[in-house]
Amino acid sequence: MEFINQNDLKYFLDDLVEKYNHTDFIVNDPISIPHLFTKKQDIEIMGFWCAMLAWGQRITIINKSKELIRLMDDSPFDFIVGHQPQDLKRFEKFVHRTFNYTDTLYFIHFFKNYYANHDSLEWAFAHELGASADTIEGGLVGFHKLFFSLPECPDRTKKHIATPFRRSACKRMNMYLRWMVRKDTKGVDFGLWNTIKSTQLVCPCDLHVDRVARKLGLISRKQTDWQTALELTKALKLFDANDPVKYDFALFGLGIADKY
């Protein structure tokens, strides 16, 4: 499909946002996991954990996340802040691809330490993000440093948390931030956080989004890295400067429908 001008492309994508930014979208998507909860901390914890496990088939990601929830007695926040050392042994067989017992223990350890001092995970992403920053880049770099600041941090776990400092596209991190930050009335994204602005979000650049965006001429950079994610987001801001990552629904929806 060829578009004569940017207005045609904007209308095309806006229609797709309306189609896919809908509660029907939730059922088969990893975002269904944090939607199982109402407590803010449960939503934050399982949204983050599910996003970090989000590689492979979506049904597998959802099933592994539900397994993790069961291991935490269906109350992630309460388990994390109140568990005893002997309770951790139950996670020995929890594995998803390269994510294993060592990684699980460190995630629990970080969350327990963090929530002892903070009510929300938002500060972890916002504390090194300037209010006038154009993008979330500084926040992601700051979060990575904070997450791995504990002395017990295993080196192997660092591969599971991306950072722009290593030029990663940070697709799973950006997806999680979209869930937590974007505000609308559609019932998909949560919009729990207020310090980080929708204008600072960067579009998650997964395989589906990357492929469709290139076919639509929204990406010209050959490789897929942090600069590519910024390039895509800059292009999407021409369609909506206040909420560019809403077009993730359109690009991802086209991609999984194999229609583009």
Tell me the residue range of the domain where 27 lies.
Answer: 6-256
Is residue 65 scored above 90 in pLDDT? yes
pLDDT of 131 reads 82
In whole angstroms, what is the distance from residue 141 CA to residue 228 CA? 17
Residue 1 lies in a domain: no
Residue 87, number of CB atoms within 10 A of its CB = 14
Sign for the pseudo-dihedral over CA of 123, 126, 132, 135: negative
pLDDT, tens digit (0-9, with 9 covering 90-100), for 133-172: 999 999 999 999 999 999 999 999 999 999 999 999 999 9
Distances in Å between the Cα of 68 and the Cα atoms of 64, 142, 158, 171 are 6, 27, 20, 22
Average pLDDT, the chain: 95
Q: What is the pTM of this model?
A: 0.96
Residue 44 lies in a domain: yes
How many domains is the chain partitioned into structurally? 1
DSSP H/E element including 21: none
